[in-house]
Amino acid sequence: MRPFVYRRPGDARTALAELAAEPGAMYLGGGTNLVDLMRLGVLAPRTLVDVTRACSDAIEVRPDGGLWIGAGVRNADLAAHPAVRRRYPMLAQALLSGASGQIRNMATVAGNLLQRTRCAYFQDPSKPCNKARPGTGCPARAGDHRNLAILGYSDFCVATHPSDMAVALTALGAVVHVEGAAGPYTVRMPGLHRLPGDEPERDTVLEPGDLIIAVEIPALPYAACSRYRKVRDRASFAFTVVSVAAAVDKSGGTIRDCRIALGGVAPVPWRAERAEAELRGAPIAEASFRRAADAELTAARPLTENGFKVALVRNVVVRALLDLVGVS
């Protein structure tokens, strides 16, 4: 590992200034992804600016029911917060189905959003990879891509975004508060993460040096009826193969409104807007749920080894919706 300077500023402006002042500097949250990638030789920052002091670790419940979550809040604390469990069950479930108790105690909200793909080539510096080593090619396309994308990928990169939490935040339309060189700004999800196009090395719309300071969840009363359902290769402590975050607003026998986002299918946490449009106003019935899933999946272009994800997404979406409306 390359030697690095360690700093731990107490506020956001100092953190921003320290990052800008040192070429090759990176922010450090809980370190569960960054320290790992440094150990693997994928990343080699010259300075680490630890932002666990500069970023708030507080969770505030807003009068309208929305939440303001400091970027330094640990995943475990967010999942255990009573307001998260009661008003946004999909978010608590997404967090709790990610990683392990130990990792959730360490991982921060901002770090979770910005964690890098688990594509095996990305994590191996001896291999080509357009995302980690731009211009070297994408061996996953013809190689190991069983767990990679079926939607939104490009010729340059077919990786998936690995975060469970981000899928729930995408469904909830979370607003990310950022401190940038020119001052504070916000980004609404989906919209933080970007599709790879011909620049797969850029995972998000953030500029280098931008600091995430908070994530705000707008009030969404019907999110109390929401769920995160994750399929993985073993019962616990494994990254998602396919997941869905869904919330429904039922009115009489129809779905008045809904939110659906998918994980494990695309380079970004994927908001299923076509499925949502199909479902709005539809009768509460398995056939509607199936049509909604199919509407989203018309855009799917599975690779040689991951065609199974198409059927899996369909089944998981239908199952999650059935669970939510209480039909078995």
310 binds ligand FAD (CB under 6 A): no
Choice from 26, 78, 92, 241 touching ligand FAD (CB under 6 A): 26
Q: How far is CA 76 from the centre of its chain?
A: 16
Spatial CB neighbours of 252, under 8 Å, sequence gap ≥ 6 = none
49-85: burial string, b at 16+ Cβ within 10 Å, e else: bbbbebbbbebeeeeebbbbbbbbbbbbbbbebebbe
Stretch of residues binding ligand FAD (CB under 6 A), selected from 29-37, 59-67, 279-287, 317-325: 29-37
CB of 262 to ligand FAD, least distance (A): 14
**Structure-token match 């997941």, residue found:** 243
226 binds ligand FAD (CB under 6 A): no
State how far the alpha carbon of 142 is from the alpha carbons of 131, 145, 196, 265, in Å: 16, 8, 18, 18
Report 70-129 residues binding other proteins (CB under 8 A): 76, 79-80, 85-86, 89, 92-93, 96-97, 99-103, 105-106, 125
Per-position x/- string for 97-136, each x denoting binding to ligand SF4 as judged by CB under 6 A, each - no binding: --------------------x-x-xx------xxx-----
Per-position x/- string for 58-97, each x denoting binding to ligand FAD as judged by CB under 6 A, each - no binding: -------------x--------------------------
**# residues near ligand FAD by CB under 6 A:** 31
Stretch of residues binding other proteins (CB under 8 A), selected from 47-55, 174-182, 202-210, 300-308: 47-55
Report how far residue 15's alpha carbon sits from residue 54's, in angstroms, rounded to the nearest whole number: 7
Is residue 214 within 8 A of residue 69, CB to CB? The reply is: yes
159 binds ligand SF4 (CB under 6 A): yes
Choice from 4, 195, 216, 290 touching other proteins (CB under 8 A): 4
Choice from 49, 69, 109, 158 touching ligand SF4 (CB under 6 A): 158
Report how far residue 28's alpha carbon sits from residue 51's, in angstroms, rounded to the nearest whole number: 6
Residue nearest to ligand FAD (CB): 111
Helix axes 308-325, 286-297, angle to 10 degrees: 140
Spatial CB neighbours of 162, under 8 Å, sequence gap ≥ 6 = 115, 116, 117, 118, 239, 240
DSSP H or E segment with residue 179: strand 175-180
270 binds ligand FAD (CB under 6 A): no
Spatial CB neighbours of 282, under 8 Å, sequence gap ≥ 6 = 254, 255, 288, 291, 292
8 binds other proteins (CB under 8 A): yes
Binding site for ligand SF4 (CB under 6 A): 117, 119, 121-122, 129-131, 138-140, 148, 157-159, 200
